Amino acid sequence: MEAAIATENRNAPVRENDGPRINREIKAKEVRLINYDGENLGVVSLTEALKSAQEVGLDLIEISPQVTPPVCKILDYGKYKYEMQKKKNEAKKNQKVISIKELKLRPMIDTHDYEVKVKQAKKFLAQGDKVKFTMRFKGRELSANDMGKEVLNKLIEDLEGLCKVDAAPKLEGKQMFMIVSPA
């Protein structure tokens, strides 16, 4: 008997559950129906809505399942999925990904090394990326962490006008962090 159940499940049509429910998958007894022209036909029974959709040769698609009664629209399901995919792709195309670039420093940094880090930070900020400065302390340097804070404050002064400070210098363990983003 278990083998028969397994066979039935294997042959069942596979449907993606990422989209809205359509036609017979709709569970509600009554639905608020909108026809293919966008005209609101009011609250009708599910069988009546399915019959209306079948008459015009289109599908009944559940647009808003959270409301009572759910809103259903008479549309071509393939065209509806295509339009939704197009909207999703358009939104993805317009979205900007902001990444965080990290620059590591030491409290006893030399002037040339410091200038290179400032130049890199300016480049990253010009590209629209956030910059995370990590100040690492070794041994006795940790007891004089004010030197590291001075270097980070000098960075803020040198990058003034190009950035705004998201996270002020903060000591965590043997490291001090600071995050800046483009102005």
Look at the chain and report how many structural domains it folds into.
2
pLDDT for the residue numbered 8: 40
pLDDT for the residue numbered 36: 81
The Cβ of residue 84 has, within 10 Å, a number of other Cβ atoms equal to: 13
Same domain, 6 and 90: yes
DSSP symbols for 86-135 = HHHHHHHHH-----EEEEEE-TT--HHHHHHHHHHHHHHHHTT-EEEEEE
The Cβ of residue 151 has, within 10 Å, a number of other Cβ atoms equal to: 20
**Contact between 152 and 172 (Cβ < 8 Å):** no
Question: Tens place of pLDDT for every residue, the chain, 183 residues?
Answer: 444 444 344 443 445 566 788 888 888 888 888 888 888 888 888 888 888 888 888 888 888 888 888 888 888 888 888 988 998 888 888 877 778 899 999 888 899 999 999 999 999 988 888 999 998 988 888 887 788 888 888 988 988 888 888 888 888 888 889 999 988
pTM for this predicted structure: 0.51
Same domain, 18 and 80: yes
> Where among 65, 94, 123 does a domain terminate?
94
Same domain, 119 and 156: yes
Same domain, 89 and 122: no
CATH of the domain at 126: 3.30.110.10
pLDDT for the residue numbered 79: 87
